[in-house]
Amino acid sequence: MLQTNLREIDVDMDVDQVADYIVAHGARAWLIGVGGIQAQYPTELAFHSKNLRLSQRHSGDLIADAVRAAHSRNLRLLARMDFSKISAQAAAEHPDWCYLSSTGDLQEHSGDLVSVCPSGGYYQERMFDILDEVCERYPIDGLFINWTTMNEVDYYKRYHGVCHCSNCQKRWLEYSNGLPLPSGPNDPEYAVWLRFSRDLIDNITARVRTFIARRLPDAGLILGKTADIMFHEANNAVGRELWHHNTSEVISTWTSYRPDVPVLSNSTTFMDMPYRMASEEPAHFAQYFLQCISRGGNPSTYMMGVPGKIPYLCMDVAGEILRFHKKWDAVYNGMHPCAKTALVRPDRAYMTASQFVDSLSEFRGLYSSMQEVHILFDVIAQEHLVATSENGGLGRYSVVVLPNVGKLNTSEADVLDNWVALGGRLVATGNSGVGDGGAVQLQSLPSKHQRAVISKRELLFSSYVAPAQPERSVHTYTGPIIPLVGTYTLYEWKANTRNKWGVLARAPFAPPEKAYGNLQVDQCGFSVGSHHQGKGIVIPFTIGRGYRELGLRVFRDLFTTVLMEEGKLEEQCLVDVAEQVEVTLNQNGKKTVLHMINMSGARKQNFGSHIPIAGGSVRVPSSAISAHALVRDEKLEIKDGLVNLPTIDRFEVVVVENN
């Protein structure tokens, strides 16, 4: 897909020229701004602001012209709507539609716009009048509704807090049974409020979907999690720490959950909203596309205005990858993830702000650990865990990893226990699965009760995890020695569990004259227990966070060793290539599809130029009959079950045909 994000001055665009450009770019669909904040067609609804420059067009209707240009080229036309803001005049007439801060202020923007609240009458009713008008007039092929959020943050990235409009107050009272409405993330009720707002948005999505299905049965809806097409916007932001695997992670959370529902990843050609004219770095932009297709998503380019008016440097590489994706449609159409390991991504809606920061750091450290040693895995969003079990998806995995997620909800604990009982191997780090009062919620884990959590930095200084030391009192140690950072959870263990490695308790670390005396105490580095057919493994310290924050390989090595030895991981394909390559595993019928993305260009806020990576190999299953490198478009020899990889430039895709 290619999105032309219209400015009002673009209304005079030559639609034929733009449609030709989109076809040449390799896109199969055109997403164009249609209405909401501003109508690009002659609307008859009084509250719907119309682009006054429409009169510059001979037809007076940009959308009618665009539909004709797209359809005459076999290009689908998708309508972008944005109901998040209204004109100041409409806001003055309908203050009850608007976002309202806890101090009673509206949220006003440049361009004379005011933020709307999804609780109010605009989203709940008038939006459907606009959708009705659009569907009535134009044979569009799909609909995208932008920015359907509770508008806590504005374009300036200023945080305004939780909406306090009268509609929100009323709905919240019913939802929460009288809890106080929180102001923001630091209030204890905020996690509940996140679930409240999620439900509210899901409800709107479901209603829009029903509505569109009735009006335009063949059109797809892109909005929220109950829509026909899942949507992710890949973007960068000034002042936001970059997580280099973000697109890969997000797309995986959707394809692991419902492999048959299409996911669209719309990649932003510019650096950030406040710098819409500054092109994204091409190498970074390529990562959005590659990570998207490597997880089974559909790539898309999102640009401002009319092609050619603003010099976006990343259009060439975007076109190359889009055309590659189109060329190999037989590989991508119907491709599903098939890794045996799943890493659970924590859910902010069940945590406090600081718990979430800790858990996310743990998650990212474990992600990097597995990515670097090429343990092939999918990401399951915690909020999809129960549904993934219900739709049978969880049974595909032999190992599931919980990254210091704290308390689970009851159904999550049940689902995981049942899965372990049937043979799954659950690896829980930190305080995963610890409920109120220190109760361990998961029957499948070897831990019985949480005695205490040590999280104060100073109390962990000079403490380590290490293999069992042969002597308890000498000053000579057996390594590797792993420093404890983040948290260490003390558990009471069940009988018949195997506790391995140990903690070297803290000792003075300064001045040097006194820096000695760490003794191994009766606390473990990890513990393993059986549960029916399966196994529970607890790593009581934040091993992922340690790797993420310190980068010492000893964290990664211990975690991945536990995973392979205790998790008994049997990979379909064993990939041996530099750790700067991210590898993902999918299948399509009898094809095994390995994506290999060269990440050697990673730097602080983006990706720069990469180093070509040579010397990799893949051990393929005995059922393999042929292997094909798609980027080079050449056959690869399989010799004694081993395929030598060609040099990986930006990326390579190896398709193994099995019999």
Binding site for Zn ion (CB under 5 A): 117, 119, 163, 165, 168
- Name which of 117 and 191 has its Cβ closer to Zn ion: 117
79 or 163: CB nearest Zn ion: 163
Measured from the CB atom, the residue of 57 and 195 that comes closer to Zn ion is: 195
Residue 124 or 398: the one with the smaller Cβ distance to Zn ion is 124
d(C-alpha 298, C-alpha 10), whole Å? 27
CA angle 508, 553, 537 (to 5 degrees): 85
Nearer to Zn ion among residue 27 and residue 165 (C-beta) = 165
Residue with tokens 């393993």: 528
Comparison of 170 and 590: residue with beta carbon closer to Zn ion: 170
The Cα 649–Cα 326 span in angstroms is 20
Residue with tokens 């990706």: 607
- Report the residue number, 163 or 524, with the smaller CB distance to Zn ion: 163
Choose between 41 and 122: whose C-beta lies nearer to Zn ion: 122
Give 117 or 219: the residue with its C-beta nearer to Zn ion.
117
Mutual angle of helices 553-565 and 353-373, in 10-degree steps:
80
Query: What does the block give as tokens for 27?
Result: 């896109």
CB of 110 to Zn ion, least distance (A): 22
Minimum CB–partner distance for residue 347 and Zn ion (Å):
23
The nearest distance, CB 85 to Zn ion, in angstroms, is 14
Handedness of CA 422, 368, 337, 644 (dihedral sign): negative
Nearer to Zn ion, 106 or 237 (CB): 106
Identify the bridge partners of residue 304 per DSSP, sorted by sequence position. Answer: 5
Q: Which of residues 117 and 394 has its CB atom nearest to Zn ion in the complex?
A: 117
Closest Cα to residue 612, out of 646, 653, 637? 646
What is d(CA 585, CA 579) in angstroms, rounded to the nearest whole number? 16
Question: Rounded to an integer, what is the distance from CA 429 to the centroid of its chain?
Answer: 21
Q: How far is the CB of 118 from Zn ion (least distance, A)?
A: 7
Nearer to Zn ion, 78 or 168 (CB): 168
Residue 2 or 163: the one with the smaller Cβ distance to Zn ion is 163
Query: Residue 95: left (phi > 0), alpha (psi -120 to 50), or beta?
Result: alpha
Of 178 and 217, the one with the shorter C-beta distance to Zn ion is: 178
Measure Cα distances from 645 to 287, 331, 571, 623, 631 in Å. Answer: 21, 19, 18, 19, 12
Look-up: residue for tokens 């949220």?
A: 107
Q: Which is nearer to Zn ion, 192 or 631 (CB)?
A: 192
Helix (H) / strand (E) element for 64: namely: helix 62-71
In whole angstroms, the minimum distance from the beta carbon of 171 to Zn ion comes to 8
Shortest distance in whole angstroms from residue 129 CB to Zn ion: 20
CA distance linking residue 494 with residue 524, whole number of Å:
13
State how far the Cα of 2 lies from the Cα of 30, in Å rounded to an integer.
5
Indicate if the alpha-carbon torsion angle 453, 455, 460, 464 is positive or negative.
positive
Query: Dihedral of the CA atoms 39, 44, 49, 51 (nearest 10)?
Result: 50
Of 52, 39, 41, give the one whose Cα is nearest residue 86.
Answer: 39
State the nearest-atom distance from the C-beta of 49 to Zn ion, in Å: 21
Q: C-beta of 178: minimal distance to Zn ion in Å?
A: 18
DSSP 641: T
Q: Smallest gap, in angstroms, from Cβ of residue 281 to Zn ion?
A: 38
Contact 402, 344 (CB under 8 A): yes
> What span, in angstroms and rounded, lies between the C-alpha atoms of 436 and 433?
10
Q: How many CA atoms lie within 13 A of 554 on its CB side?
A: 14
The sign of the CA dihedral 276, 8, 106, 176 is negative
Whole-angstrom Cα distance, residue 226 to residue 229? Answer: 9
Q: How far is the CB of 353 from Zn ion (least distance, A)?
A: 21
**Least spacing, CB of residue 151 vs Zn ion, in Å:** 8
CB of 92 to Zn ion, least distance (A): 18
- Measured from the CB of residue 158, what is the shortest distance to Zn ion in angstroms? 17
Q: Which amino acid is at 641?
A: G
What's the min distance (Å) between Cβ of 127 and Zn ion? 15
The alpha carbon of 113 is separated from its chain's Cα centroid by a whole number of angstroms, namely 30
Instruction: Name beta bridge partners: 655.
Output: 593, 628
Burial class of residue 574 in the structure, from the number of CB atoms within 10 Å of its CB (0-12 exposed, 13-18 middle, 19+ buried): middle
Torsional sign, CA 424, 445, 538, 562? negative
Ramachandran bin of 147, using left for φ above 0, alpha for ψ from -120 to 50, beta for the remaining angles: left
Give the three-state DSSP class for 143: strand
H/E segment holding residue 298: strand 298-304
Least distance in angstroms from the C-beta of 196 to Zn ion: 11
- 615 φ, ψ to 5°? 90, 10
Closer to Zn ion by CB, 99 or 363: give it. 99
Least CB distance to Zn ion at residue 115 (A): 10
